[in-house]
Amino acid sequence: MPESRLARRSLKQNRKQLYTSLAGIVGVIFFAFVLGPTLIGAFGDLIDRVTGKSSQQEVIKPSDEIQPPSIDALPVATPSARIKVTGKSDYPNGEVELHVNGSLYDVKGLDDKHIFEFDDVLLNDGDNLIKARLSIGDKKSDFSEEKRVSYTKKAPKLEISFPQDRQSFTKADQQINVRGTTDPENSVNVNGFVAIVDSVGNFAYNLNLHEGENKIMISAKNSAGNTTDKEIIVSYSP
């Protein structure tokens, strides 16, 4: 009987050790195949951050799709024939192709902050369509969002229909309605005050006159920043 109990106790201990060993093996396998790659990748990223290195595996994997660069905000319109185009990429390497009006304009590399710059980009008269894409090795990204920039040196139209230069006013006409026409979407100022411009370019502003000679400066400005100025003089006698 004592030997039988001793044998059973030994058998239980052996089974317990076997179960513990099996559990340990399963844990090692789970760690190696499930958690291992994730932890190793996280540790590698930590090392890259500490050493200042950027992982480029995502850039060079054949299966990866390259994201297009982004172009910084550009003016809607400009009176200058040349502008500066800047932007940024998600990647630390590669070259940025700048396309203007459907044609390749220039190619630039990225700096250490993934930023690109194109100085003195020449514009055509009128609307210009600007976009960019990234090239890494033999792979190219899609084009970035297209930017439209209008270039014009043309001065805005400005015609004054009322009052006439050197016109005289008396008594009840102390307030006059200065009006005329300009190009639609232009802005107009009368003696520094904003006039109302309608959808077809008619403008108007009510101006109070003082006794004697009154100088009226009218200025029209288009979206490119070009201006046309006209001055008239009227007189008022109460």
User: What does the pLDDT look like over 186-231, one tens digit per residue?
Assistant: 999 999 999 999 999 999 999 999 999 999 999 999 999 999 999 9
**CB count, 10 Å around CB of 131?**
19
Contact yes or no for 202/179 (Cβ under 8 A): yes
Give kind and range of the element (H or E) at residue 86: strand 82-88
Residue 102 is encoded by which pair of tokens?
């459907």
Measure Cα distances from 14 to 18, 102, 115 in Å.
Answer: 6, 78, 66
Domain with 108 in it:
60-151
Q: Are 166 and 143 in contact (CB under 8 A)?
A: no
CB atoms within 10 A of CB 109: 9
| Same domain, residue pair 81 and 42 | no
Average pLDDT over residues 2-12: 58
* Residue among 194, 186, 169 nearest 221 (CA): 186
Residues 68 and 138 in one domain: yes
- Mark whether 200 and 215 lie in a shared domain: yes
What residues form DSSP beta bridges with 236?
Answer: 169, 212
Looking up tokens 């109460």 gives 238
- The answer to whether 114 and 88 are in contact (CB under 8 A) is yes
| Residue 174, domain CATH | 2.60.40.10
120 has pLDDT over 50: yes
Structure confidence at residue 1 (pLDDT): 46
Average pLDDT over residues 73-99: 96
Residues 88 and 39 in one domain: no
Residue 64: its pLDDT value, please?
76
Residues 137 and 93 in one domain: yes
pLDDT band at 59 (very low <50, low <70, confident <90, very high): very low
User: In total, how many domains does the chain have?
Assistant: 3
Q: What is the pLDDT of residue 60?
A: 44
